[in-house]
Amino acid sequence: MNDHVTILVASKYISLLDEAARNSGLLFRMGENFEEYAEITAGIAGKARTDPNFRPDCSQLDAGRAFWIVGEDRSGKVAHVQALRVDDLTATNLARHLESLKAFYANPKSLAGRGSSCICRAPTAQRITRLVAYHGDIWLREDFRGQGLPRTFAGIAFGLAWVKWTPDFIYALVPTWSVEKGVADQYGYLHREASGAILSLPDRGIEEDDWLVWLTRRELSRLIKVTGGSRR
């Protein structure tokens, strides 16, 4: 199967998923202003605080290098959020990127609090390099859960990431409960390894031991091509 994906195929893929979300009562919009995103997420009851990766006071989230997606119900209330960013790891790899804390802070030396650290024990993280997209800050309101929406909204994020960046890899860091309950599988990631980020940010109250889940560019292209209905 030819893995080449055109913009037309990717657009069809995104459109099909957007229509499925609309049929479930979820209306998406996207943006690149992370000051606005910080205001939106700060007002969401029941959502954990957005990690430094997507906070403009911590990370450099330049236009064209990061974007967010917000899903609203038919009354205009926020029911879903997620965000993506891309990093050029050509001179390094994901394991070193995480452990240096550069995945979380533009300048870890000046921004990371005392005692901050990250350990990556996922073996494949050392082979994840070049142009790498991070997918995170995922939240879905309780009344929209159990409807199969994770694959839909993650798929839209994948499609937009492909159109904008065509990354060599796209990854997420997910908690153990997400893996055990099958939520991470619903996103569409094909690979997973434990202890992708054992993260301690004491000044922010963050103590996590997350799994690394990921897709390669070829796998992402195949997903878009098949779902976009272009198989001949």
Convert the pLDDT of each residue in 190-222 to its tens digit: 999 999 999 999 999 999 999 999 999 999 999
Question: Is 70 exceeded by the pLDDT of residue 232?
Answer: no
pTM score, whole prediction: 0.96
Question: Is 80 exceeded by the pLDDT of residue 89?
Answer: yes
Give the pairing type, strands 117-119 and 191-201.
antiparallel
Average pLDDT in the 150-156 region?
97
Predicted local distance difference test score (pLDDT) of residue 1: 43
Predicted local distance difference test score (pLDDT) of residue 227: 80
Question: Mean pLDDT over all residues of the chain?
Answer: 95
Instruction: Give the dihedral sign, CA 104/106/109/113.
Output: negative
Question: Is 70 exceeded by the pLDDT of residue 230?
Answer: no
Q: What count of other Cβ atoms lies within 10 Å of the Cβ of residue 77?
A: 9
Q: Each residue of 97-114: pLDDT tens digit?
A: 999 999 999 999 999 999
Q: Which residue has the tokens 């878009």?
A: 224
Predicted local distance difference test score (pLDDT) of residue 185: 92
CA gap 94, 100 in Å, rounded: 10
Question: Is 90 exceeded by the pLDDT of residue 229?
Answer: no
Q: Each residue of 18-54: pLDDT tens digit?
A: 999 999 999 999 999 999 999 999 999 999 999 999 9
Average pLDDT in the 129-135 region?
98
Predicted local distance difference test score (pLDDT) of residue 3: 67
Q: Which residues of 29-59 are buried (b: 16+ CB within 10 A; e: fewer)?
A: eeeeebeebbebbeebeebeebbbbbbeebb
- Residue 67's nearest CA partner among 48, 52, 58, 54 is 54
Predicted local distance difference test score (pLDDT) of residue 228: 72
- Directed axis angle between helix 149-165 and helix 7-23, to 10°? 150
Nearest 5°: the CA angle 60, 84, 206 is 75
- Directed axis angle between helix 7-23 and helix 217-227, to 10°? 70
Residue 48 structure tokens: 């954990």
Predicted local distance difference test score (pLDDT) of residue 128: 99
